[in-house]
Structure 1
Amino acid sequence: MTSRTDFLCDQLRLIDGTVPSNQHPLNKHTKMTWSPFQFFRGSAQIFYADLAGGVLKLPDLLFAKPGQTFIMGDCHLSNFGFMTEEGSQSDQVIFAPNDFDDACVGYAVWDLARFLTSLSLAGDFARGLLEGKYLTDETDIDDDLNAINDDDVREASQQFLKVYLKTLAQVIDREETRFNVLQSFDDDHVLYKYSRKAAKRSAGGKDFYSKSQLAKSTLVEDGKLRFADKPGKYVRLPSEEYAILKTTFRPYLDDEVLDIVVRIHAGTGSHEAMRYYFLVGPGDCRSIEDLPLCHIVEVKQQRQAAPIFSFPDLSPVNTLNPAHLTADCQRFMQRRPDLLLDEVVWNNQHWLVRSRHHARLSVKPEAIILNDTSPEQYFCEYAQACGEALALAHARGDRRSTRFEQFMVQLLPEQTDAIIEACLTYARQVIEDYEIHCKLMAE
């Protein structure tokens, strides 16, 4: 019988190519020792292996064909955020799912369960930060902070599912509702200040030239726009490799290539994936005033989506190459997907080509699980917003009917308590797995 330690090593090797160890540790595996929440973010394949193996048991009624749609695959509270629709080609800022690396055709309840588990782990994360058990580089921990508790997690979980169902019911009543987006919030809502900050970073915003992703990543030198020197983030390329990349990917870009760098130490689940950043714009860019004409394009090596390792025969769509599948899922789940979104086969690998959003802004979990008053309101509001955004993304999987919505609205309400309890229990398994991972990294 395989031990849990052997099981975890097999699953981590599946994606990362190696097991946790202090001999030659991956940066990703080191980062996963910071907290169970961080471990969960970096190991989606374990979640699906546990679903397949019955460690995580969800209501059977929701595993029928009508409950399938395009799913995020790695649905957790850190994979939602602000972005501009149509990539860098628009100034319309929305709140939506922002990570499709593990997207595929799957059961909607998988996304729901993974998000609910992340809520429970977020509660543990908050308390662990105050106790000094866990690490973060996102905020300073002091004695004035308060953390969410178990009751807050249960309430946020209930509200997440309630809003998810309410949104699907609205699509049934009026099908064009599936093309709604979250773009405005009351001034006392947790997301209000983030939406304003993101809007200011869009190409038409007042902070575009100082705080947009593009502005913070570039500089003008000798009359040419190029990537800034950022050790630990960008790595310069040898001239020969630079020339090959420029020739290979120029046909997929909408303008001239101004500069190329390797982007390192990005992401969590895809932390070790190879990725390049292309600075794209008119060849005659000469000053900072030309910045709105430019944008950054990410070319990222894609691997198979995490759910497919454990459920390889679920849908023929999932047999597409990994980059093609990611691009297709993003096109379905977003109202107005990136205008620059493509897939390329190069060096016997599959690469996803997509624009980086000027106004991309994620809400750090530390900001909604800890504050100096009562964090439960922000935590619940954030869960509700994610529930609505996820329901809209799921509903766009089939734009010809409301069969999916009707199925979920009919069956999910009677299963919400069972799903929440299953995810609370599974979160404890993740914490145990995290402790095993830490031991492996220390040996």
Structure 2
Amino acid sequence: MADTKTKAKTPAKTSAKTGTTSRASGSGSKSGGDEKIVQPVVKSDGRVESFRDLATRIANGEQIVPPNLLTGIDRRHHVRSTLREDHQNRIEAQSHGARTKFEKLAKSRFSFFRGTQLLFYRDMVGADAHMPTVLALGDVHPENFGVMPNRDGVPIFSVNDFDEAIYAPFTWDMKRAAVGFWVAAQEEGDLSRKQRRKIVRAFVHGYLEAMEQYAAKETEKADAFRMDNSPKVIQRLFKEAWEERKDWLWDDYLKPSGKGFRADDELQPISSEIDTFQKAVNDLAKANKLDVPDRSPELKVKDVCVRHGQGTSSLGLPRYYVLLEGPSKNATDDIIVEFKKARRSALAGLTPPSDFDAGEKGERIAHGQQVQLAHGDVFFGAVKIGGESFMSRERAPFRDDIDLDELSKSTWRDYAHVCGQALAQAHALSDDLGQVDYDVEPSILAACKPRELFVEDLLHFTVETADRLKADHEAFIEDFERGAFDSIDMVYR
């Protein structure tokens, strides 16, 4: 038997910059039957330069490892620096709202989830690039669905928060929603993991069933959940949300004379700014071609106030209520329009590259509402006030979201199912009223096959993310108690 010779393997060389390995290719020649192996030369200078480059990149703040893979003290520092960055202006201004928000985040894991979108989405950086793109809401969770007025002032149920809207893979909204339902069902409903799995499945099935309907019948522009056609769990919300405008105005907002906002711990009248906000209302009317003679014929601003303590993510950002005179001029049918300072979407720069652009700040938020809520609130828009971008919307007597702690085990599933349907309608409108230039519905349905695998993958993501959220929240509480958010990150030389 002839002798066999085994070719020696060249050692692997590791790149300090990329973490990849490669092997030198043997370029030896055969002489006298012997194979000569050319061994690679290890250059220490090359590794020194690689590590010098790595040190520079880390020192400059580059994220070398995806944040969701960080553990221990590195993860704690990431959470801390992300929250400092996200609230930099509020911390620097020593805003009372910033302290209030951090206190709120510390008390509840669901509030922490709601108020830390940037942290959530940095863990998803660049993910799901192969999935169909939609105009995503960016912050889907059980309390961002609700009852609100449509363009005719009629109450409808749908998605109701467009502050983070941006073009992104549809799965980004699905994942955010699934984790939101999981965390809320545990904290607000005290439900078991088995029950929470059923709730997440109900949400996904509601979404896919509605998407199948829109793919077949193309009714997404006409459909709406109203008092007459909603499931029982939503009909109850309509009934609980309903209130006569006169009672709502006088009980919650107006001073005894009815001529302006009252002063309390939530409302701070600033009547001296009426002219500033009259201009903002006029700009909104021009941009939206607003003409509502039966609701506010002159669009006359009667009073303005600062609204304190509202929201979770936006807590501490400037928010104003503007009182518009109604047709009767007796303070029984006045309108309140909210102006809230707009920010960059938490998803900006994190989503896979896309040719679709929703715009910036207030214009982006208005674009989200105009696409995702067909026939929605006519006062929804974007204006500049003092050179800053603000979004606007109407406050209404029946604008309300569900009380999660009142849901039973079965109604949690019912509610998740109808929320999935509402989100599907918002996504389906991306190619009708938005910029997406291909048929969204069949693309999403194809991307979700095999369906059971898609659902189980989403559940695995949900559980893994919720477990990481728990650890992040515990670390945040400790850091907050030690004063970690009294100042921003500084670079010392």
TM-score range for the pair, normalised by the shorter chain length: 0.7 to 0.9
Separation in structure 2 between the aligned mates of residue 77 and residue 390 of structure 1, nearest angstrom = 11
SS at match of 1:51: coil
Taking the TM superposition and a 5 Å limit, the aligned residue runs for 1:40-439 are 40-52=113-125, 60=128, 63-64=129-130, 67-86=132-151, 89-91=152-154, 93-126=155-188, 147-184=190-227, 189-198=232-241, 200-201=242-243, 207-210=244-247, 212=248, 214-219=249-254, 221-222=256-257, 224-229=258-263, 231-237=264-270, 239=272, 241-252=273-284, 255-282=299-326, 285=329, 287-288=330-331, 291-292=332-333, 294-311=334-351, 313-318=353-358, 320-368=359-407, 375-399=408-432, 403-412=439-448, 413=451, 414-439=453-478
SS at match of 1:226: coil
User: What's the counterpart of residue 103 of structure 2?
Assistant: 30
Deviations 1:269-295 (A, max 9, x none): 11111011100025972x34xx22x21
SS at match of 2:79: helix
Separation in structure 2 between the aligned mates of residue 175 and residue 402 of structure 1, nearest angstrom = 14
Of the candidates 7, 10, 19, which is equivalent to residue 81 of structure 2?
10
Is residue 165–residue 368 contact of structure 2 (8 Å, CA) maintained in 1? yes
Offset at residue 434 of structure 1 (A): 0.6
Against the structure 1 CA distance between its residues 165 and 283, is the aligned structure 2 distance closer, same or farther, given a 3 Å change threshold? closer
Provide runs of 4+ in structure 1 moved above 6 Å: 18-24, 185-188
Paired amino acid for 1:384? H
SS at match of 1:81: strand
User: What's the counterpart of residue 140 of structure 1?
Assistant: none
Is residue 16–residue 272 contact of structure 1 (8 Å, CA) maintained in 2? no
Is residue 162–residue 365 contact of structure 2 (8 Å, CA) maintained in 1? yes
Offset at residue 313 of structure 1 (A): 4.5
Against the structure 1 CA distance between its residues 157 and 282, is the aligned structure 2 distance closer, same or farther, given a 3 Å change threshold? closer
Deviations 1:144-198 (A, max 9, x none): xxx3211111111111111111101111111124431122478983322211233
Is residue 20–residue 441 contact of structure 1 (8 Å, CA) maintained in 2? no
Separation in structure 2 between the aligned mates of residue 332 and residue 257 of structure 1, nearest angstrom = 28
Separation in structure 2 between the aligned mates of residue 111 and residue 48 of structure 1, nearest angstrom = 11
Is residue 203–residue 417 contact of structure 2 (8 Å, CA) maintained in 1? yes
Q: Structure 1: any 5+ residue segments left out of the alignment?
A: 128-146, 202-206, 369-374
Paired amino acid for 2:207? Y
Offset at residue 96 of structure 1 (A): 0.6
Is residue 217–residue 227 contact of structure 1 (8 Å, CA) maintained in 2? no
SS at match of 1:26: helix
Paired amino acid for 1:44? Q
Separation in structure 1 between the aligned mates of residue 133 and residue 353 of structure 2, nearest angstrom = 13
Against the structure 1 CA distance between its residues 330 and 187, is the aligned structure 2 distance closer, same or farther, given a 3 Å change threshold? closer
Deviations 1:6-54 (A, max 9, x none): 211222123211799999862111100111111000001111100017x
SS at match of 2:239: helix
Separation in structure 1 between the aligned mates of residue 465 and residue 79 of structure 2, nearest angstrom = 15
SS at match of 1:164: helix
Separation in structure 1 between the aligned mates of residue 213 and residue 230 of structure 2, nearest angstrom = 25
Is residue 12–residue 19 contact of structure 1 (8 Å, CA) maintained in 2? no
SS at match of 1:10: helix
Paired amino acid for 1:321? E
Separation in structure 2 between the aligned mates of residue 125 and residue 38 of structure 1, nearest angstrom = 10
Is residue 195–residue 409 contact of structure 2 (8 Å, CA) maintained in 1? yes
Paired amino acid for 1:113? K
Deviations 1:208-238 (A, max 9, x none): 332x4x444333644x532233x22111227
The aligned length equals 391
Paired amino acid for 2:307? R
SS at match of 1:265: coil
Separation in structure 2 between the aligned mates of residue 426 and residue 409 of structure 1, nearest angstrom = 24
Is residue 147–residue 157 contact of structure 2 (8 Å, CA) maintained in 1? yes
Separation in structure 2 between the aligned mates of residue 235 and residue 384 of structure 1, nearest angstrom = 40
C-alpha RMSD of matched pairs (Å): 2.8
Is residue 75–residue 111 contact of structure 1 (8 Å, CA) maintained in 2? yes
SS at match of 1:52: coil
Q: Structure 2: any 5+ residue segments left out of the alignment?
A: 1-57, 59-69, 286-297, 483-493
Offset at residue 266 of structure 1 (A): 0.8
Separation in structure 2 between the aligned mates of residue 325 and residue 244 of structure 1, nearest angstrom = 23
Offset at residue 95 of structure 1 (A): 1.2
Paired amino acid for 1:386? C
Paired amino acid for 2:186? D
Deviations 1:385-416 (A, max 9, x none): 10011001110111288721111112212411
Is residue 137–residue 164 contact of structure 2 (8 Å, CA) maintained in 1? yes
Is residue 258–residue 281 contact of structure 1 (8 Å, CA) maintained in 2? yes
Q: TM-score, normalised by structure 2?
A: 0.73
Is residue 179–residue 396 contact of structure 1 (8 Å, CA) maintained in 2? no
Against the structure 1 CA distance between its residues 188 and 344, is the aligned structure 2 distance closer, same or farther, given a 3 Å change threshold? closer
Q: Percent identity?
A: 23
Q: TM-score, normalised by structure 1?
A: 0.81
Paired amino acid for 1:390? L
Separation in structure 2 between the aligned mates of residue 100 and residue 387 of structure 1, nearest angstrom = 16
Offset at residue 430 of structure 1 (A): 0.7
Offset at residue 259 of structure 1 (A): 0.6
Against the structure 1 CA distance between its residues 420 and 84, is the aligned structure 2 distance closer, same or farther, given a 3 Å change threshold? same
